[in-house]
Amino acid sequence: MEKLLNLQALRKNFGKQVVLNKVSFELNSGEIVGLIGPSGAGKSTMIKTMLGMEKADSGDALVLSHRMPNRHILGEIGYMAQSDALYESLSGLENMEFFAQMKGLSRRDIPKAIDHACQVVDLSEHLNKAVSGYSGGMKRRLSLAIALLGNPRLLILDEPTVGIDPALRRKVWQELRQLKQDGVGILVTTHVMSEAELTDKVGLLLDGKMMAFDSPENLKSAYGVHSIEEVFLKAEGEL
């Protein structure tokens, strides 16, 4: 087991607002951690700060044992942002080819890698269409396919299943479980509590703090409830 993420007392303020208040947690290889918390809790900020896209005010965040940004390990991380960053005038295939090259995949490996990633998100038949003509869910699926390219050791997915229908959502989760079996570590944020049930550990971010961090089973018994949805509501004081 290898420590892929290691956050220690990470603090991030925006002006006077404390968004992350000494957040600590670890993610190991072969583990899926689901990050939940109300809108505005700081989930995306936590991800951006650990990836070096926002500067921490204090504390430490190690990604694959390095401080980010570090271009040497970028190719080992599959990151899917909450808002899609795609080239609208290019086709889905052209986007994938571009990002595959950016990740350093060899020309020979690219077609197979694209093929596999597209199958997972069921996008194969739309690949030649310009992204400007994609629906919201199709853009999410393309972003996820791009994150999967190049067999990253660490996946960081910020709300990957927004706008994705239940059948495909199930397929995406099957793929995440498979990747976990292969030793990939996955951090995924979600507002879908049934997805949080499928993780190894759930982190509940509330008021800038990691209020809970444990397996779904342990959390449910600690809160005396039967679902992660109830854990969430109870922690928020809604139950």
Q: How many residues bind Mg ion (CB under 5 A)?
A: 3
User: Any contact of residue 78 with ligand ATP (CB under 6 A)?
Assistant: no
Q: Which parts of 52-196 are beta strand (E)?
A: 58-63, 66-67, 77-80, 154-158, 185-189
Task: State the nearest-atom distance from the C-beta of 44 to Mg ion, in Å.
Answer: 3
Identity of the residue, 18 or 225, whose beta carbon is nearer to ligand ATP in the bound complex: 18
Q: Are 157 and 144 in contact (CB under 8 A)?
A: yes
Pairing of strands 17-28, 185-189: unpaired
Residue (of 210, 162, 159, 204) closest to 36 by Cα position: 204
Rounded to a whole number of angstroms, the minimum distance from the CB of residue 189 to ligand ATP is 7
Residue 185 binds what, of Mg ion, ligand ATP, none (CB under 5 to 8 Å, by partner type)?
none
CB–CB of 22/62 below 8 Å?
no
State the binding partner of 14 from Mg ion, ligand ATP, none, CB within 5 to 8 A by kind.
ligand ATP
Q: Are the beta carbons of 104 and 154 closer than 8 angstroms?
A: no
> Do 122 and 171 touch, CB atoms closer than 8 A?
yes
Q: Kindly tell me which of 65 and 83 has the beta carbon lying closer to ligand ATP.
A: 83
Question: Token digits for 180?
Answer: 């976990």
- Work out which of 8, 21, 82, 151 binds ligand ATP, going by CB under 6 A: 82
Which of 4, 19, 93, 186 is in the footprint of ligand ATP by CB under 6 A?
19
Residue 161: contacted member of ligand ATP, Mg ion, none (CB under 5 to 8 Å, by partner type) = none
What Å distances lie between residue 203 and 26, 128, 154, CA to CA? 10, 39, 17
Distance of CA 191 to the CA centre of its chain: 12
CB 216 within 8 A of CB 199: yes
Q: Residue 110 and residue 97: Cα distance in Å, rounded?
A: 7
Q: Please choose which of ligand ATP, Mg ion, none residue 40 contacts, taking the beta carbon within 5 to 8 angstroms, the exact cut-off set by kind.
A: ligand ATP
Shortest reach from residue 233's CB to ligand ATP, in Å: 16
- Shortest separation between residue 190's beta carbon and ligand ATP, angstroms: 9
Stretch that binds ligand ATP, among 43-51, 58-66, 120-128, 133-141 (CB under 6 A): 43-51
Task: Pick the piece of the chain touching ligand ATP (CB under 6 A) from 40-48, 87-95, 114-122, 179-187.
Answer: 40-48
Residues of this chain, 60-119, that bind Mg ion according to CB under 5 A? 82
37 lies in the site for ligand ATP, by CB under 6 A: yes
Instruction: Give the interface with ligand ATP as residue ranges (CB under 6 A).
Output: 14, 19, 37, 39-45, 82
